[in-house]
Structure 1
Amino acid sequence: MKKQLLALAVAAAFVAPQAVGAEGYAVYEWSAEGMGMAGARMFAEDDAANMAYNPASITKVKGKAAKISATYMSPHGKFDSFQGDKKVETASNRIHPAWAPGTYYVQQLNDKEWIGMGVYSRFGLISQFEANSIAGSNAVSSKMFGVSTGFNYARKLTNKWSASLGAEINYVGLQLDKNLYMNRDINQQTTIADGTPTLPMDHTAKPAVRSALHIEGDTYALGWNAAANYEFDDKNEIGIVYRSKVKHSMEADADMHTPMLGQHMYGSAYGVVTLPESLSIGYNHKFNDKTRVELNGIWTRWDRYESLDITFGGGVGMLGTVPSDKNWSNGWRYAIGVEHKLSDKYALLAGYAFDESSIPYDGGDFMIPTGTRKTYSLGTQYKDKDQTLAVSIGWMDVGSLDFVGNGTTDMFDRAHTRDSYTKMYSISYQRNF
């Protein structure tokens, strides 16, 4: 029977380079309209997806509304790896697209109270490399699926103030595969810096034995959020959304197969990590009845990711504890979105977002080796009194990053990622009751 695992803790150790979302491993593509405005959509009228972008704005929904959304993401990228000053490999990730779902329901109880529910992805990663790639010593295949289920209560406090309070059930599922390179004598052991016994790794010559490590499992944890809106007048509005940290601990199933020695070992992997809290601040300005613009900034406390220590037990206990310092820094995401109504039923959307990089040179890895990110998006929407249909496209320049290898397990001293981008397509449908 599989043990539950903290997917993120292990993912942070082994996940491959292409994050499907924005800075870090965050995802902001929660609806087609939201993606069309690059995530700057905190003040939409009559949109059930406000549950994700700004729960205080579910007070803008009239009656009942149910919405479903799906965003397709296709990451691309190349990397160079080095041993000393010598380039030893140039390769790219295998195209392994992902889907970010979104489902929302909002109900107006009376003139002052609303309730809402949303199921969407706030964190996620997916990537795959060739099994014999040097990057495989860090990650061969990595899938981390994060789903947040939120419940919110919102209230119109006055004609100008709205507020919301909610709870979140955070789920993460993970499947990981990576290669471990070791000497032929599987019983021989050395120690790493803290004296923990580990399998001997050979970083200077072609390894004699390659073992395949597989980790899989899932976990749940709880979080909360709070939001507030203030309308200065009928053209200007500000809002703020706080999302709490979510602490996960894991005990995962792990197995290791060494084909050359005909051995298959089973055990566990344990780690603890905290998904960071965030603070979103938004401003909405209506130029007229047809055109409005949103400005949005999201601060995320990525310094929660100070280090990642994974302890292996059972049949794979010979791996011991593998420490890894990260020391990420806090970062901002800035976005601007425009919505222009062509008529009573049709509208155009456009957006741009810029993500700061939070990853230092000595804290990067093939999990998310990305620099600053730039997202460009366009969308269109059809809306009548009963339903809304929207589609959008986006292109994310993922940037590049230089980082050092983990001297314990990686088969490279340093690496450089480049030519990385993600193509995105999204569709949403809402029904009003």
Structure 2
Amino acid sequence: MFSKKHFTIMGLVCAMAVPAANAGAEGFAINEWSAEGVAMGGARMFAENDAANIAYNPASITKVQGEAFKQSAVYISPHGKYKAVRKDNGEIEEGKNVVHAGWAPGNYYVKQLNDREWFGIGLYSRFGMISEFERDSVVSSNAFFSRLNGASLTPTYARKFDKKWSAAIGAEVNYAGLELQKKSLTMYDAPTQTKGESWALGWNAAANYAFDAKNELGVVYRSKVTHSMEADFKAYLPNGVSIKTDAYGKVTLPDSWAIGYNHKFDDRTRVELNGTYTKWSSYDALDIDIKGLGTVASPKNWSNGWRYAIGAEHKLSDKYTIMGGYAYDESSIPFDGADFIVPTGARRTYSLGLQYHDKKQTLALTLGLIDIDGLRIKGHETDAYSEASTHDNYAKVFGISYQRNF
């Protein structure tokens, strides 16, 4: 349940784990869990000796030899513009987002217990976003600042049954810190803020099957997580009077299925294919009950959607590897459920990476570009615009990872 007063230490640490303007995956999902993962478009379910497998495919931590600790940070800088039709006079307002470049960090530890069992734990973000627009813009009636800080702590147990089968199961301690700011037309354009945080539990499971030495199939399921929110609501009226009261809301972070296929051409080159199906339909509304003021309804009615990715990895030598990837995210946001909290559509990600590795350590660097479609947004009764759209959206990506083997 949301604490009404202060963000916890973990929440503050995870504040950097939010790609700005939600430039990661579709909706407010994040899959930038390591530099290598970004370099391969997110298609990294079968990496050898990579502690970040905890995030991409827990069943593959059986590929880690001995003990490994990994840290990763992915920098994302988004850009975008919008047009909005004012309700009062029909004029078109043009503007752009306030750029919030951010970092998505990941921390992973894996230990091989014996020939058949592994334990791992990860701290990374599955969900998060930030968006901001000018406070005097017409779109501020919908949202001028929105932030979801997210973090998942995932203790994981994996077992290798034989040369073909491996599987894993893990718990998820999920943190969400939510802040929403907007101007309220029903309160004389008063700026309002709703802020709180929550902890909830989820789980995940994964399995790998190796057909032979060159071909492998994997499946990962991540459960939905439902957060109940007790928050602080504040409104700052034009006459200098401020209102402070309690608020309550509920949000469900969706469950997902990922399926991946790995093919090794030889000992130096391999390719992965990946498809992730996210059940965004569980995000049907973001309604907030404000004590003494009623309910602020915000229907979403998003549709379920797929993310497709392909990644390739080629060893130039015993110490250097190059990687490349492409990913396509379908848009799940309908016209009448869109808003300026998540104001972007389908995405195409292009990325390249380089990795250095020896027996004790691995260092990886990645560069990427996310080409983001615009989104048509219907104005609702509480918005100052009748219709809006976003355009010229893109994000620049840089990632770095370091792993130490023991």
Query: After TM superposition, is the score higher than 0.5?
Result: yes
1:115 to 119, 122, 126: 119
TM-score by length of 2: 0.94
User: Residues of 1 paired with 2:19 and 2:189: CA distance?
Assistant: 19
Displacement of 1:38 in angstroms is 0.9
| Residue number in structure 2 paired with 1:2 | 4
Q: What's the counterpart of residue 284 of structure 1?
A: 262
Matches within 5 A, 1:98-113: 98-113=102-117
**Distance in 2 between the 1:99 and 1:211 partners?**
32
The CA deviation at 1:307 is 2.2
Q: Equivalent residue for 2:197?
A: 218
Is 1:227 the counterpart of 2:231 in the alignment?
Answer: no
Matched with 1:90 is 94
**How far does residue 4 in structure 1 lie from its aligned partner after superposition?**
7.9
The question of whether the paired residues in 2 share the 8 Å contact of 1:4 and 1:251 is answered with no
Aligned equivalent of 2:50: 47
Structure 2: runs of 5 or more not aligned:
8-17
Letter paired with 1:72: Y
| Structure exhibiting the larger radius of gyration computed from Cα positions | 1
Q: CA deviation at 1:401?
A: 1.1
Residue in structure 1 matched with residue 166 of structure 2 by the alignment: 162
Post-superposition offset of 1:83: 3.4
Deviation at 1:292, TM superposition (A): 0.4
Determine if contact 1:270/1:311 at 8 Å carries over to the other structure.
yes
For 2:235, give the aligned amino acid: M
For residue 261 of structure 1, give the secondary structure of its aligned residue in structure 2. Answer: coil
Aligned to 1:246: 225
Tell me, what secondary structure is at the counterpart of 2:339?
coil
CA contact (8 A) 1:75 1:422 kept: yes
The CA distance in 2 between the partners of 1:88 and 1:223, in whole Å, is 44
| Alignment partner of 1:388 is 2:362 | yes
For 2:232 and 2:254, locate their aligned partners in 1 and report how far apart those are by CA, in whole Å.
25
- Looking at structure 1, the residues matched to 34 and 23 of structure 2 have their Cα atoms a distance apart, in angstroms, of 15
Change (3 A) 1:42 1:16: closer
Indicate whether 1:180 and 2:184 are aligned. Answer: yes
Q: Could you tell me how far 1:143 is from its partner in structure 2? A: 2.0
In structure 2, distance between residues paired with 1:82 and 1:352: 35
Q: Mark the runs of 5 or more structure 1 residues left unpaired by the alignment.
A: 6-14, 183-198, 200-208
Pair 17,114 (structure 1): closer, same or farther in 2 beyond 3 Å: closer
Q: Does 1:346 align with 2:320?
A: yes
What is the match of residue 69 of structure 2?
66
- How many angstroms does 1:422 deviate by? 1.3
Deviation at 1:216, TM superposition (A): 1.9
Letter in 2 for 1:46: N
Say if 2:367 and 2:399, in contact at 8 Å, map to a contact too. Answer: yes
1:42 aligns to what SS in structure 2?
Answer: coil
Q: How far apart are the structure 2 equivalents of 1:102 and 1:179? A: 35
Could you tell me how far 1:176 is from its partner in structure 2?
Answer: 2.7
CA contact (8 A) 2:305 2:332 kept: yes
Deviation track 1:290-313 (CA, whole Å, cap 9, x = no partner) reads 110000000000110222221111
CA contact (8 A) 2:131 2:340 kept: no
Encode CA deviations 1:76-116: one digit per residue, 9 max, x unaligned: 10000013693431000011111111000000000000000
Q: 1:192 corresponds to which residue?
A: none
Residues 186-201 of structure 1 correspond to what in structure 2 (within 5 A)?
A: 199=187
- CA distance in structure 2 between the aligned counterparts of 1:226 and 1:4, rounded to whole angstroms: 33
For residues 124-148 of structure 1, give each alpha carbon's deviation from its aligned partner in whole angstroms, at most 9, with x where no partner exists: 1012211111121111222211000
Q: How many angstroms does 1:17 deviate by?
A: 9.6
Calculate percent identity across the aligned residue pairs: 59
Q: Retained in 2: the 8 A contact 1:4–1:250?
A: no
Q: Which residue of 2 aligns with 1:325?
A: 299
TM-score norm. by structure 1 comes to 0.88
State whether residues 20 and 99 of structure 2, in contact with CA within 8 Å, keep that contact through their aligned partners in structure 1: no
Is the 1:66–1:106 contact (alpha carbons within 8 Å) kept by the matching residues of 2? yes
Give the corresponding residue for 1:76: 79
Instruction: Give deviations 1:53-83, integer Å, cap 9, x for gaps.
Output: 0000000000000000011111110000013
Task: Give the counterpart of 2:391 among 402, 414, 418.
Answer: 418
Please say if 1:298 is aligned against 2:276: yes
Secondary structure of 2:47 counterpart: coil
The worse-fitting range, judged by mean Cα deviation, of 131-140 and 161-170 is: 131-140
What is the alpha-carbon distance in structure 1 between the residues aligned to residue 20 and residue 141 of structure 2? 13
What secondary structure does 1:126 align onto?
strand
- In the aligned structure 2, how far is the partner of 1:396 from the partner of 1:18? 12
Question: Distance between the aligned counterparts of 1:147 and 1:307, measured in 2?
Answer: 22
**Contact persistence 2:284–2:302 (CA under 8 A):** yes
Partner Cα distance (1:20, 1:77) in 2: 10
Question: Is the contact made by 1:243 and 1:277 (CA closer than 8 Å) also made in structure 2?
Answer: yes
| Equivalent residue number for residue 9 of structure 1 | none
Q: Which amino acid aligns with 1:424?
A: V
**Cα distance between partner residues in 1 of 2:338 and 2:131:** 16
Separation of aligned partners in 1, 2:213 and 2:404? 26
Q: CA deviation at 1:369?
A: 2.6
Contact 1:80-1:87 within 8 A present in 2 as well: no
Whichever residue aligns with residue 365 of structure 2, its letter is: V
The alpha carbon displacement at 1:212 in A equals 1.3
Partner residue in 1 for 2:34? 31
Give the letter for the 1:381 counterpart: Q
Q: Distance in 2 between matches of 1:175 and 1:74?
A: 20
- 8 Å CA contact 2:21, 2:99 repeated in 1: no
Q: Distance in 2 between matches of 1:140 and 1:303?
A: 25
Does the 8 A contact of 1:97 with 1:126 survive in 2? Answer: no
Who is 1:146 aligned against? 150
> Structure 1 residues 16, 378: closer, same or farther in 2, change over 3 A?
closer
Query: How big is the shift at 1:3?
Result: 4.6
